[in-house]
Chains A and B, each alone.
Chain A
Amino acid sequence: MMAKNSASELMRRDQVWPFLQPAAAGINVDKNVILYIEDLNLSFDGFKALNNLNLYINDGELRCLIGANGAGKTTLMDVITGKTQCDSGTAYFGQTINLLNYSEADIAELGIGRKFQKPTVFEAQTVFDNLELALKSNKRLLPTLLARLSPSEIDRIDDVLATIGLTDMRFQQAGALSHGQKQWLEIGMLLVSEPRLLLIDEPVAGMTAEETERTAELLTSLAGKHTVVVVEHDMEFVRSIARTVTVLHQGSVLAEGSMDEIQSNPNVIQVYLGEEA
């Protein structure tokens, strides 16, 4: 399967062979599109988690992905961040970088940050240490061994601590935080790593109404400088932040457009919103 895939990749006439391309010098967003997902397929034991999925994300936009359970939202994120290998298809980051050739760590270094569905912070370490680990820096072995926080880095962490409202808990163990605070800490870890593209999986699960509102504000303020893709079930929340919404259904895109367009789309009403009504 893989061999056939790479053979057809070699014969593509719209691009030169990878080793002839100049080494990717940063992310090329000339066409104003930062992420090109094309014909992505992935099946687990016959279940098609992704089915010829095509998705384009513009540079600097805030995009919401919605869809019922099993629609392939989280799987899509797994493929983009290198956690899962897909069966066929391409995922380009900018014009030149094929994400499918890179490992998780490489992809993080390229500037794709991810927040997980279940908040995963390092519970045995302090809030400050969690942020220090996520800091945008050289993550190779020796530089990490000899790394010392520069004053500007400390300021950066302090800024983020203020943004996520955890300034008073900077030396508390992350395990002692409440669920909502852990969600915020994880968003903070994304912020200090200064990614180009943020993939955020269910940011407001388990948050109070007030926390949800603050999260919405934060995410909208991030768009523009960063590109943000949010997966969320909470339709109120999606309505409050989204300009463009993509609906996934059974591993492919069902509809795309503004919230109003989506809500009046007959297909969507049938398969997704219909269940709610």
Chain B
Amino acid sequence: MTLWQTFLSRRNSLGSPVLPFVTILLGLTALAAVGNLWFPPESALHVSTYTITLLGKYLSFAMLALAVDIVWGYCGILSLGHGAFFALGGYAMGMYLMRQIGSRGVYGDPVLPDFMVFLDWDVLPWYWLGMDQFWFAMLMVLLVPGLLAFVFGWLAFHSRVTGVYLSIITQALTYALMLAFFRNEMGFGGNNGLTDFKDLLGFSLQADTTRVALLISTALILAGLFTLTHWVLKTRFGKVIEAIRDGEPRVRFLGYRTDRYKVALFVYSAMIAGIAGALYVPQVGIINPGEFAPLNSIEIVVWVAVGGRGTLYGAVIGALLVNYAKTRFTALMPDGWLFMLGALFVLVTLLLPKGLAGLYGQLSTSWKRDQTDQHPPNKEATS
């Protein structure tokens, strides 16, 4: 009995992938940071600021993939609109950075961002108020995507929209937002979006130290969210979520209100996507309506499919690998990337249904099958 109870408590503790994941992630980030700040440019161990920024960008994409894996891999909600939550988080951060520019803009207006002066606006729209406060902007990074996900999720899950219909309306959601944000009247810089940022919390965005600090923050937040998510999915709540994926009507008959569980998970996932967007914007220096493009959201799903859904670390690995491939490939052959991406998705779906994370399991079962094929009597004895 005691052994049995220890086993139970062990099962609920933060076991398996968390510790190795956090160690590897933070270790590599520390190496990159040291390589950039301590070694001179001519040293072989030097890591360029370009690479640091690129890594930071990849890690915020990894966080976005994590958000999609939470809903798709664990609850079967294939969202093709997570780019919208990412972009909204990014816009919230962008608004803060715009207001930090102050009178250093081209037109030198102390309050209004350049694009508003250009449009002949005399007052700041109400939704820009408070965005000069860092804490308020960070609150909006969580609240705006969270609220949208709540309203959308409540409507969709309450009326039991599932499967491909849900995927289609998530696409429509992000497309509608893209069209809205393209309009100058919306007050978010229209086509050009928000850019020309100067500093964040008083630190210049061009400085190497700020770049490294942003990379480290991204890595720390990713590690934290990974751990938190792993814990959430190990609780009974997580078991309910997985059960919803495998048989939602059955879960309802057990007495769980599945729509509330799905809304809660969707909001949680959208907030993670928002945080990812907020970390992405200061590192790439621009946010524009292109981030809402439906294609972007589909790309996230490809990252998760390549890495392997339902494992969390698979999504992170997939995001890093596909984005690295994208960086290399678009440099070599810019027009070919979309074909490459499509081919990747088809091949992974056909050959690696569980993605790279499932490769090991797939290989070991096929090896075992070969073994049992060679000894057929063995199989009969066990069945």
Contacts and interface: CB of A to CB of B under 8 A. Distances in A.
Interface of A: 81, 83, 103-105, 108-109, 113-114, 116, 120, 122-125, 129, 132-134, 139-141, 144-149, 151, 154, 189, 193
B232 interface: yes
B264 A141 contact: yes
B254 interface: yes
A145 B253 contact: no
B312 to A, nearest CB: 15
B258 A133 contact: no
Contact of B236 (A108, A124, A145): A145
B235 A125 contact: no
B73 to A, nearest CB: 11
28 contacts: A83-B249, A83-B253, A103-B252, A104-B249, A104-B252, A105-B258, A108-B253, A108-B255, A113-B253, A114-B253, A122-B246, A123-B246, A124-B245, A125-B239, A125-B242, A129-B239, A133-B239, A133-B240, A133-B254, A139-B255, A139-B256, A139-B257, A141-B237, A141-B260, A149-B8, A154-B8, A189-B254, A193-B255
B236 A81 contact: no
Contacts of A105: 252, 255-258
Contacts of A193: 254-255
**At the interface, is chain B mostly helix, strand, loop or mixed?**
helix
Interface string B328-352: 0000000000000000000000000
Contacts of B232: 145
Contacts of B246: 122-125
Interface residues of B, number: 27
Given A83-B249, A124-B242, A146 B255 contact: no
A200 to B, nearest CB: 13
B182 to A, nearest CB: 37
B21 interface: no
Contacts of A124: 242, 245-246
Given A104-B252, A141-B260, 11 more contacts: A105-B257, A122-B242, A122-B250, A123-B246, A124-B246, A132-B236, A132-B239, A139-B257, A147-B237, A149-B8, A154-B5
B54 interface: no
Contacts of A154: 5, 8
A81 B235 contact: no
Contacts of A139: 254-257
B223 to A, nearest CB: 21
Interface in B251-282: 251-258, 260-261, 264
Given A146-B235, A147-B235, A120 B257 contact: no
B202 interface: no
Nearest to B256: A139
Interface string B4-34: 0100100010000000000000000000000
